[in-house]
Structure 1
Amino acid sequence: MRILLDATAVPADRGGVGRYLDDLLPALVRQGVDLVVVSQERDRDHLARLAPSAEVVAAPARIERRPARLVWEQVALPRLARGTRADVLHSPHYTMPLVPGVPVVVTLHDATFFSHPELHSPVKRRFFRTATRHAVRRAGALVVPSRATAREVRRHAGGAEALFHVAYHGVDTSLFHRVDGDDQARVARSLDLEGRPYVGFLGTLEPRKNVPALVRAWARSVTDLPEPPALVLAGGRGWDEQVAPTVAAVRAQHPHLVVRTPGYLPLGDLPGFLSGARVLAYPSLGEGFGLPVLEAMACGAVVLTTRELSLPEVGGEAVAYCGTDEESIARELRTLLDDAPRRERLAAAAVERAAGFDWDASARAHVAAYEAALGRRA
């Protein structure tokens, strides 16, 4: 079985789909998949290093612009599938050709375009709803990162249960693991927080992450402490326009409190950042999977998150839970900060649970989806 995997949707900063493919491709190679990868020219060497046995083909440079890429996907990708003699095309980011010519497996990462439409712009909402519905109607199999995502897609866009293959993300424990105090101190110095405890957040500052509520809740929960932990909002500056004014208001009202917004942290700094956090707070309104929660757990972080959509599938009993409202976040955060023995128990349980999520298992689930798509065509 020869698989053509279309990696051209990966953005220049690699983003979520880039992280997904960076870990999936080597795992597919380890499963013995005969793999052809088509990528943006800028990613060709990177992907060839990740999957040395795969054939990596660069698409034309003009498709760096999204409209051009979508046209190329419809016209040239089916030709490439025929030219490479692919048995199955894997489209790993929602969209697929209208007339692919071969069975297609599509990865649907998220269903919040349906379940939480207010969290997305109208254009993005329409685009991904349309792409999802088309994939449900035309793909030979669908890969989803959680049972919650499968359930929500079926509720809003239909599709037989057998069409969906749950492939949980894994975590690279060679990178994401507990690190010693030196690494934690180095990252704290880079944040100008040496010797100071902090509550961490990791993720794009987008509306679904519920960051303004977190900022207000953190201020409520720590303001009376003799040594209040700082708050570090690590991640790309997304399109949540309420984050900056909320941070400014908290700073004005509580000048003794410290908030850091460093943007993206280098990948090599993430284990030190996560391991060193007193609590990693992730009060999301809904996730297709919630990779920052899993990565934090692997680093022995004490995670506070919500029970929305997929997050309980990742956290299980190894994390603490709160609601999505400011009062609930503040209450549960303060409870964790005041209870060191509970934090120790959660940290140990988190490492143990995270070890059960690995990319080889995810790759096997993908292979099952490829086989199902090919079998359905036959």
Structure 2
Amino acid sequence: MKIGIDISQIAYKGSGIASYTQNLVKSLLKIDKKNQYIFFASALRRRYEIEKFIKLFDVNGNYQFKLYPFPPKMMSYLWNKMHILPMEKFVGNTDVFHTSDWTEPPARALKVTTIHDLLIFSQPQYVNPSIVENQKAKLKWVTKETAIIITDSQSSKNDIIKYLKYPADRIKVVYLGIDKIFYPQSDDAIQKVKNKYKLNFDYLLFLGVNDKRKNWDLLIQAFSQVKTAGLKLVGISSFLSTYKFTDEKIKILQYVDLQDMPALYTGAKAFIYPSLYEGFGLPVLEAMASGVPVITSNRGSLKEIIGENGFVIDPYSTIDLVSTINQVIGLSSEERNNIIYKGIQHTKKFTWEKTASETLKIYESLI
């Protein structure tokens, strides 16, 4: 079987879409030596990120890369708006083609696409209007032409059924994997990272990207009511690093190296992720795998992903979050170790090899 995959989103280094695409490709090529793969990519100014990824692979293998210097706006216009130039013009004939989350080209091949979430319908106020417009144009063609939709969670599947009216039996839930760097770190590793980022205190950790959907304002309001002596709130956010917080118990790190994240997770008293909506919520699993109690939202996929292995709150309730923070801080050593153990065991279900294996079965089911 000849399988085509659009890997253009790898150009957006650091994004969840780039991580998904990179890990899916690496894992597919690791587990599947039988089928032939053709990887299409189109990028102009960010072309170097894709070139860097391609260099990770040997010249000889059951794959080939086809990289074109076309900007994403151009491809979006041609494929999502005009819907011209079939994918075969760029990659030749394939049996199955897996499109990206940004464009939906016409193709003679049976098409698969991944929808990570439908925030553009459920909470469009958090999405740039140009992204909403592009996504709706793409999804119009998905509903008409795509054989199978892959999505990250049952919660996202429910949204696809609700908003796109797509047949449930043609939507397949495939959970994402966790990078193997995330596991409980030693005391020495934790201290080294704390020294690097000047964290000489106990802390709660959160991630706050340039997105109010992450609900960092409610968290900061809740933390102001937590009275534990010496405890601070540490956030990782280039966006929030520009804010001038009057509360000295709040420290914002503009950037953290990926290799430092496991120790930063392990060293925290808790990881807090009160997002209003997620299609999956990978940071929750990364934190659990690193050995820290997790407090997260009961909205979107987060309650589904965490199961009974952490603490869920109403993301609109400051009182609920304050109470849960105090509950976690007050855990005995035995209770804390038990919830950490459960979390680590739970995260072992989420591997990129499993993601790739289930995705490959979907490709093969179409032929």
| TM over 0.5, shorter chain | yes
SS at match of 2:109: coil
Distance in 2 between the 1:292 and 1:153 partners? 23
**In structure 1, what is the equivalent of residue 195 of structure 2?**
189
**Cα-to-partner distance string for 1:114-151 (whole Å, 9 max, x where unaligned):** 12222223332233233234312211111101111011
**Cα-to-partner distance string for 1:188-247 (whole Å, 9 max, x where unaligned):** 1222112x11111135231211111111111212xx3222x221211453xxxxx579x6
Distance in 2 between the 1:71 and 1:345 partners? 53
Match of 2:150, as an amino acid? V
**In structure 2, what is the equivalent of residue 75 of structure 1?**
85
Contact 1:278–1:302, Cα closer than 8 Å, also in 2 = yes
Distance in 1 between the 2:304 and 2:51 partners? 34
Verify: 1:86 aligned to 2:79, yes or no. no
**Cα-to-partner distance string for 1:13-53 (whole Å, 9 max, x where unaligned):** 24111111221112211331422212344213423426873
**In structure 1, what is the equivalent of residue 136 of structure 2?**
129
Contact 2:236–2:254, Cα closer than 8 Å, also in 1 = yes
Distance in 2 between the 1:231 and 1:16 partners? 24
Closer, same or farther: CA 103–51 of 1 in aligned 2, 3 Å = farther
Distance in 2 between the 1:197 and 1:109 partners? 35
Higher helix share: 1
Q: CA deviation at 1:79?
A: 0.9
Contact 2:203–2:269, Cα closer than 8 Å, also in 1 = yes
Contact 2:76–2:134, Cα closer than 8 Å, also in 1 = no
**In structure 1, what is the equivalent of residue 3 of structure 2?**
3
Distance in 1 between the 2:142 and 2:360 partners? 18
| Superposition pairs of residues 153-164 of structure 1, within 5 angstroms | 153-164=160-171
Closer, same or farther: CA 236–157 of 1 in aligned 2, 3 Å = farther
Closer, same or farther: CA 23–352 of 1 in aligned 2, 3 Å = same
Distance in 2 between the 1:139 and 1:51 partners? 32
Distance in 1 between the 2:5 and 2:285 partners? 25
Q: CA deviation at 1:261?
A: 2.0
Moved more, 196-205 or 299-308: 196-205
**Which residue, out of 168, 179, 186, partners 1:180?**
186
Match of 1:231, as an amino acid? L
Closer, same or farther: CA 283–226 of 1 in aligned 2, 3 Å = same
Q: CA deviation at 1:89?
A: 1.0
Match of 2:301, as an amino acid? S
Contact 1:117–1:125, Cα closer than 8 Å, also in 2 = yes
Verify: 1:208 aligned to 2:213, yes or no. yes
**In structure 1, what is the equivalent of residue 252 of structure 2?**
261
Match of 2:284, as an amino acid? V
Distance in 2 between the 1:236 and 1:75 partners? 39
Verify: 1:120 aligned to 2:127, yes or no. yes
Contact 1:29–1:51, Cα closer than 8 Å, also in 2 = no
Contact 1:137–1:159, Cα closer than 8 Å, also in 2 = no
Unmatched 5+ stretches in structure 1: 238-242
Closer, same or farther: CA 310–168 of 1 in aligned 2, 3 Å = same
**Which residue, out of 229, 250, 273, partners 1:226?**
229
Closer, same or farther: CA 132–76 of 1 in aligned 2, 3 Å = closer
Distance in 1 between the 2:323 and 2:133 partners? 37
Distance in 2 between the 1:8 and 1:244 partners? 30
**Which residue, out of 164, 168, 184, partners 2:175?**
168
**In structure 1, what is the equivalent of residue 289 of structure 2?**
298
| Superposition pairs of residues 98-117 of structure 1, within 5 angstroms | 99-117=106-124
- Percent identity among equivalent residues? 22
Contact 2:265–2:290, Cα closer than 8 Å, also in 1 = yes
| Superposition pairs of residues 302-313 of structure 1, within 5 angstroms | 302-313=293-304
**In structure 1, what is the equivalent of residue 352 of structure 2?**
359
Distance in 2 between the 1:72 and 1:133 partners? 14
**Cα-to-partner distance string for 1:263-301 (whole Å, 9 max, x where unaligned):** 331111111111111110000111100010111111111
SS at match of 1:344: helix
Contact 1:143–1:166, Cα closer than 8 Å, also in 2 = yes
Contact 2:24–2:352, Cα closer than 8 Å, also in 1 = yes
Provide the TM-score with structure 1 as the length reference.
0.86
SS at match of 2:97: strand
Verify: 1:337 aligned to 2:324, yes or no. no
Match of 1:103, as an amino acid? L
Match of 1:23, as an amino acid? N
> What is the aligned residue count?
353
SS at match of 2:349: coil
Closer, same or farther: CA 117–236 of 1 in aligned 2, 3 Å = same
| Superposition pairs of residues 136-155 of structure 1, within 5 angstroms | 136-155=143-162
Closer, same or farther: CA 47–295 of 1 in aligned 2, 3 Å = farther
Higher RCO by CA contacts (8 Å cutoff, separation 6 or greater): 1
**In structure 2, what is the equivalent of residue 240 of structure 1?**
none
Match of 1:38, as an amino acid? F
Distance in 2 between the 1:152 and 1:95 partners? 20
Unmatched 5+ stretches in structure 2: none
Match of 1:230, as an amino acid? K
